[in-house]
Amino acid sequence: QPARFTLDPAFTVGTVDPRLFGSFVEHLGRCVYTGIFEPGHPSADETGLRTDVLELIRELGVTAVRYPGGNFVSGYKWEDSVGPVDRRPRRLDLAWHSTETNRFGLGEYIAFLRKLGPHTEPMMAVNLGTRGVAEALELQEYANHPSGTALSDLRAAHGHEDPFGIRLWCLGNEMDGPWQTGHKTAAEYGRLAAETARAMRQIDPSVELVACGSSNRSMPTFAAWEATVLAETYDLVDHISLHAYYEPADGDIDSFLASAVDMESFIENVIATCDHVGARLKSTKRINLSFDEWNVWYQSRWQEHARSADPGDWPEAPRLLEDAYSVTDAVVVGSLLIALLRHADRVTVACLAQLVNVIAPIMTEPGGPAWRQTTFFPFAHASAYGRGTVLDVRVDSPTYETRRYGETDLLHATAVRAGDGSVTVFAVNRGRTEPLPLEVALGSLGPTSLIGHTALADADPDAGNTLAGPERVTPHQVPGTRLRDGVLSAVLEPLSWNVIRLC
């Protein structure tokens, strides 16, 4: 029995904000050091940036990069990371039990983004863990004020005459989490976020601000936290953050493949909470969602590592959270991208956490090569072809049984119509053993030809790319897909991520 849906240009979700394809660089493990930045590496440019990695990031299609954390930001002193490198202090990084050398800092981050090109924008977090309003304002003045004040002139003296132009700011990170340095209650954080936002808008009313939502949906304070924080900040912020990481629980791959069911209902819960607060405040303003950390993350492996770590050891750029991703993981990442696109009317920023080495689509070896993990491909496809208007897709699909989510559709799909009228269908077959026939009725949509059908699937669901075999898994073209008499028909391989392009 085929899975089916109908596309109609009159039924749309919304326009995709390019920042839906953001990522995240945290001072954590080897994301920065020996990831994007490795002076002396054969591919390093004159500033120490690895040009092989820059090339892969461009190919990935990243549109925004959140920085410098994550948990790291809650101990971050921005002023340590600017000025002459040989005078920058070494600091303890409490979040990741490491030593931060500050050889890469704020100016290097902006230079890195500029090298990536004009389509990648900064997303800077301020420290609301150990710090507060004054330090956030100082950072904003240093970064963005044109000239003629102590901090803007200091930036120029550090070699950055042009302001950094950071528009998008996160007001802290995961402040609801007891693991966060300077963790706060919702009321404490709500007040601090409101006062920081108010002051930052005094410098520049046009900044875009993200308030911290819950660290994840299973936090005991989830939803109450968002309601309290938004009651304080509703008129002062633009977005509330969401974070979610998925991994198979107790080897339950069928539920893992349905992770997007959780992500979609998480998004809908947060929208409901935002709109509830808006209704209570009788506001016509709409708060959007910044899903600024999402991915597959084998957190159980990290917890094991953290338990056995030596408390006296504070290494520089250790190998942390270096998950190696499989085909199964890539299909889940593809499905999470579909979930984000299906809510593009409210999710206007999203960041794949993270970018290089740390739970990342790109891996590097110090002194050696860089390569694409399996999860690189769905992200690159979605960023390349997922721009335009998301069409409202309601699937009629055969189902399968999952322990965690009950009866679940085998097909997860969305479709995006670009400005030139071309349409891309993104689809995942969650079934592990059987191919899934798909029929899409195009009605008056317009496309009459198939550009191509690309898939990521493999006879071995555990296959991945490694230093020894960096191209073991790559996408392939799927033969047999047809567009005839207004109906697209395809067969989705078992456990597959699919991109079908029409014009």
User: Which residues make up the interface to ligand AHR (CB under 6 A)?
Assistant: 26, 69-71, 173-174, 215, 293, 353-354
Which of 52, 293 has the CB closer to ligand AHR?
A: 293
Closest separation between CB of residue 404 and ligand AHR, Å? 21
Rounded CA-CA distance 171/209 in Å is 7
Q: Which of 392, 401, 471, 480 is nearest to 435 (CA)?
A: 480
Which of 121, 292 has the CB closer to ligand AHR?
A: 292
Kind plus residue range of the DSSP H or E element containing 154: helix 150-157
Angle at the Cα of 90 from the Cα atoms of 83 and 131, rounded to 5 degrees: 80
Rounded CA-CA distance 347/271 in Å is 9
Q: Are 397 and 3 in contact (CB under 8 A)?
A: yes
174, 232, 264, 493: the active-site residue: 174
Closest separation between CB of residue 183 and ligand AHR, Å? 12
Which of 34, 215 has the CB closer to ligand AHR?
A: 215
Strands 476-477 and 482-484: what pairing?
unpaired
Token digits of residue 305? 């590592």
DSSP 3-state percent helix, strand, coil across the chain (nearest 5): 30, 25, 45
Query: Which residues lie closer than 8 Å to 127 by C-beta, 6 or more apart?
Result: 73, 74, 75, 76, 77, 78, 135, 136, 172
Q: Tokens 């304080």 identify what position? A: 232
Specify the amino acid at residue 338: I
Q: Which of 189, 194, 195 is nearest to 176 (CA)?
A: 189
Closest separation between CB of residue 128 and ligand AHR, Å? 13
- Counting Cα atoms < 13 Å in the Cβ hemisphere of 167 gives 8
Which of 25, 136 has the CB closer to ligand AHR?
A: 25
Closest separation between CB of residue 465 and ligand AHR, Å? 21
| Burial (Cβ within 10 Å: 0-12, 13-18, ≥19) of residue 419 | exposed
> Where on the phi/psi map is residue 159: left (φ > 0), alpha (ψ -120 to 50), or beta?
left
Q: Are 395 and 409 in contact (CB under 8 A)?
A: yes
Which of 71, 465 has the CB closer to ligand AHR?
A: 71
DSSP string, 463-486: ----SS-TTSS--EE-TT-EEETT
Which of 141, 293 has the CB closer to ligand AHR?
A: 293
Q: Which of 450, 390, 385, 455 is nearest to 427 (CA)?
A: 455
Specify the amino acid at residue 502: L
Q: Tokens 């003296």 identify what position? A: 157
Which of 83, 129 has the CB closer to ligand AHR?
A: 129
Q: Tokens 């979700």 identify what position? A: 13
Closest separation between CB of residue 305 and ligand AHR, Å? 13
Which of 318, 494 has the CB closer to ligand AHR?
A: 318
Q: Which residue is nearest to ligand AHR (CB)?
A: 70
**174 has catalytic annotation:** yes
Q: Are 301 and 351 in contact (CB under 8 A)?
A: no
Closest separation between CB of residue 69 and ligand AHR, Å? 5
Q: Which of 301, 225, 235, 223 is nearest to 265 (CA)?
A: 223
Which of 38, 174 has the CB closer to ligand AHR?
A: 174
Closest separation between CB of residue 209 and ligand AHR, Å? 18
- Give me the active site residues, please: 174, 293
